[in-house]
Amino acid sequence: MIVGERKPLQEIIKAVEQYEKILVLGCGECVTVCMAGGDKEAKETALAISVSRKRAGKPVQVKSHTIERQCEFEYLEASRKLIEEADVVVSLACGVGVQTMNMHYENMITLPGINTTFMGLPVQQGVWVENCLGCGNCVLEETMGICPIARCSKSMLNGPCGGSQDGKCEVSKETECGWHLIVERLMKFDKLSALEEVKPPKDWSTSHSGGPRKMIREDVKL
Amino acid sequence: MTMSNLQKALNSGAFVVTGELGPPKSAEREKIEHHGHLLGGVVDAVNLTDNQTAIVRTSSIACGKILVDMGLDPVIQITCRDRNRIAIQSDVLGAAALGIKNILCLQGDHANFGNEPAAKNVNDLDSINLIRALKNMRDEQSFIGGEKLAAPIDIFIGAVENPFADPFEYRAYRLAKKVEAGADFIQTQAIFDMERFERWMEKVRELGIHKKVPILAGVIPIKSLGAARYMKNNVSGMSVPDEIIERIKAAENKKEEGVKLCVEMIEHLKTVEGVAGIHLMAVAWEEIVPEIVERAGLLPRPKFD
Ligand code: SF4
Ligand code: SF4
């Protein structure tokens, strides 16, 4: 899933200072699950904006609404009336949702209300970890299903660096060393010799390094 | 192909001594020269760190050139942290053109340790990719992308290994992989935990790696109790046992105790099968190097024409 974190309320309030009719737009997918931008958070954010403006003596009209999936045009279309009534939209969807809104409603400004952080998963209640960078050329089959690109702070391909200690990454004691996990899992399956091969430098052109990516599939085009 | 002084020293069978010089946070050539003078004649080659612990300093290649001008043999360090393959290969050519022969390949500490924690960590290559890339530039006259160098280059390729990092079981295999990738010599992380180092060396010998490449064991003289504690708690990948901290703490003259400890370590390392020499890292305490090398019975250094 895509994981995000709501921006500090003060930052959101400041960003909508000049507007009178504000719509806070949640998304029903990933950000609902990671409790950053679902219906509950949209309502809370709208309330916070409204209270703060009232206190400042500049009351505004703030509504909140949640769209099932902000990253597809069809879903956005269903709420056209509500969206067009507003002066500005604060989207609590990930960066993709915010941009889908701006593409679809060209005459309206949609501002981001969350910081999109990473692709990952919740490992326990309230704890999410990053585990894929969308590099465009997956190597998980070589690393026992643990991503060396996302889970190693240096995206190394040939084994752990010299900073790995007690299973932790040198970057922080809170961060697991991805390579420690890979080596342990290789040992568990008696496959450590798989690491002997000197892997060539990664071809980063399939990642964002190659420029913004686009995928075209003729077989599914209409 | 002409050999670097380091290469000659290693080939001579002498117990080799390399030193280390930390480039300044300034463009003061005199400082680099001053430290160069302290190390000249006392060590066989001098490492120049590449923005060590991600702190901005004078470039290792520029410092390497200054040492070449002084008649010393530099070992320039190159990390994967700050440059992509285009910049690294270009710098290798530049270094070779300036008469620098020894290049040590490292991954590099993460930028969050240093004075530019907001920097983008490049890591286009990893350290093993880097070693192989240098080997291919020299032996195949080939860049990573496949294009050919217009003329051969003459470099001597070093790699590092840290016996104190985890997973311990993998560390000797990792060294073997670096040798397979193309390393000509090895320098280790500084040793304080001799017992663990010896366990690692056992595995290294079992794999026969010490017969393929010379291994220089890293040592650091401890200057003060604060320095020992700092290394124990703040330096990535270092292991300083409590007994060492206690020994320095109990000593009246801490500097002398640090020197004594370092000399004892070197004496011991001379007896470890497969250790071809030491890499003495007295960064910010360069003036002590002549005394340590002398007291360890390693002077004079061999001279070659
Ligand atoms: S290798 Fe690439 S695609 Fe596969 S999990 Fe890692 S970042 Fe994602
Ligand atoms: S400690 Fe582990 S995760 Fe961190 S950079 Fe080194 S190998 Fe990668």
For residue A135, CA distances in Å to A116, A213, B128, B185 come to 17, 11, 20, 34
CA distance B161 to chain A (A): 7
Q: Which of A162, A166, A192 has its CB closest to that of B160?
A: A162
| pLDDT tens track for B56-82 | 999 999 999 999 999 999 999 999 999
Asked whether the beta carbons of residue A162 and residue B237 sit closer than 8 angstroms, the reply is yes
Asked whether the beta carbons of residue B126 and residue A157 sit closer than 8 angstroms, the reply is yes
Q: Beta strands B215-219 and B275-280: pairing type?
A: parallel
- Of A1-5, A59-63, B237-241, B252-256, the poorest mean pLDDT is in B237-241
Nearest CA to ligand 1 atom 5: A132
pLDDT at residue B136 in the model: 98
* Architecture of domain A2-118 in this structure: 3-Layer(aba) Sandwich (3.40)
Q: Which residues contact B101 (CB under 8 A, 6 or more apart)?
A: B2, B3, B4, B6, B7, B73, B154, B155, B156
Count of all residues that appear for chain A in the document: 222
CA of A185 to the centre of ligand 1 (A): 17
What are the tokens at B227? 């320095």
Residues of chain A with pLDDT under 50: none
Q: Which of B109, B173, B189 has its CB closest to that of A170?
A: B109
pLDDT at residue A222 in the model: 87
Provide the 3-class DSSP secondary structure of residue A176: strand
Residue B305 has pLDDT above 80, yes or no: no
| pLDDT tens track for A10-60 | 999 999 999 999 999 999 999 999 999 999 999 999 999 999 999 999 999
**Can you tell me the distance from the alpha carbon of B263 to that of B296, in angstroms, rounded to the nearest whole number?**
5
pLDDT at residue A184 in the model: 97
pLDDT at residue B194 in the model: 97
CATH fold, domain B5-221+274-293, is TIM Barrel (3.20.20)
Closest residue, chain A, to B177 (C-alpha): A196
Query: Mean pLDDT, to the nearest integer, of B24-50?
Result: 97
For residue A129, CA distances in Å to A121, A174, B122 come to 6, 11, 22
Query: Mean pLDDT, to the nearest integer, of B232-249?
Result: 91
CA distance B183 to chain A (A): 13
Q: Mean pLDDT over all residues of chain B?
A: 97
Q: How confident is the model at residue B237 (pLDDT cuts 50, 70, 90)?
A: confident
Count of all residues that appear for chain B in the document: 305
- Starting from the edge strand earliest in sequence, which strands make up the sheet with A61-67, in order? A61-67, A21-27, A88-91, A109-112
pLDDT at residue B181 in the model: 98
| pLDDT tens track for B83-118 | 999 999 999 999 999 999 999 999 999 999 899 999
pTM higher than the cut 0.90: yes
Q: Which of B109, B113, B181 has its CB closest to that of A198?
A: B181
Asked whether the beta carbons of residue B124 and residue A162 sit closer than 8 angstroms, the reply is no
Spell out which residues line ligand 1, taking CB within 6 angstroms: A 132-135, 138-140, 147, 149-150
Provide the 3-class DSSP secondary structure of residue A200: coil
Residues of A in contact with B108 (CB under 8 A): 154
Provide the 3-class DSSP secondary structure of residue B20: strand
Residue extent(s) of CATH 3.40.50.2300 domains in chain A: 2-118
| pLDDT tens track for B159-171 | 999 999 999 999 9
For residue B291, CA distances in Å to B44, B268, B295 come to 15, 18, 6
ipTM confidence score: 0.95
Residue B235 has pLDDT above 90, yes or no: no
